[in-house]
Amino acid sequence: MCPTIILDKHSEQVKMVVGGSGGTNITTATAQVILNYLFFDYDLQKAVVEPRVQIYKNDTNVEDCFDV
């Protein structure tokens, strides 16, 4: 599991609650959803369904929809 609670730094109000469950990709997938939503201004649905890049030890995996 990777529960994450993000607070607004000024008001200390909850800005986002996100997390995931299952295997080794949880941390990077959760981080990518947070980045997509908070920094790239994607709506939540788009932030979640966007393709992922996963890095595990010395192995980088990209989803098939990326041109590499």
Binding residues: 23
Residues of each annotated binding site for L-glutamate:
23
| For the chain, counts of helices (H) and of strands (E) | 2, 4
Under 8 Å between Cβ of 33 and 6: no
Dist. CA 22–CA 19, nearest whole Å? 10
